[in-house]
Amino acid sequence: MKTMLSEGLIVRHAVSHDATAIVEFYNRVGGETDYLSFGEGEYPQSKEETRQSIDVGQDTAGSCILLLMKEEEIIGIGTIDSSTKSRFRHVGVLGIVISELHTGKGLGRILMNALISWCKENDQIEKITLVTRSDNERAIALYEKLGFEREGVFQKDSFDGNRYYDSLSMALFI
């Protein structure tokens, strides 16, 4: 998948040589928002582990990593991961991050639509799930506009060192 968008934007699948840029992107954006599960410089995978994840994901029917590119710069990443267990492989877990500099421009919707389209074309995924902090109102509004429904709340699911936050589980059946 490689989709050309306006303003020199492209959505494409990640490949092995993107690993370094992906880790650098995640380590940077971790400091831009409190809504991620990691902070600045805390992305849990090394460049080599990320490269291996990309390679394994290319051979796995229920997983993909999509990059939103502006010229040669990653400005957003969207992922779908499904279990290898037969009872759960129909469920794709979605993750999405847009660089703070590029939020509020409709790019999250573009990347979400690309992930949903990928899932619809995939013979394995029947349900897309995601978890977001319950106070992430802009993201929740986008997810609901795209058809995601609230499934449940995980109370005191994350802690930023000062305060606990609830997480909201959402799903889209395709």
Domain tally, the chain: 1
Q: What is the pLDDT of residue 65?
A: 95
Q: What is the pLDDT of residue 6?
A: 63
Instruction: Considering only residues 26 and 42, tell me which one the structure prediction assigns the higher pLDDT.
Output: 26
Range of the domain at 32: 2-173
> pLDDT-based confidence at 4, cuts 50/70/90?
low
Residue 128: give its domain's CATH number: 3.40.630.30
Model pLDDT for residues 140-154, shown as the tens digit of each residue: 999 999 999 999 999
Token pair listed for 44: 């849990």
Question: What average pLDDT does the structure give for the chain?
Answer: 92
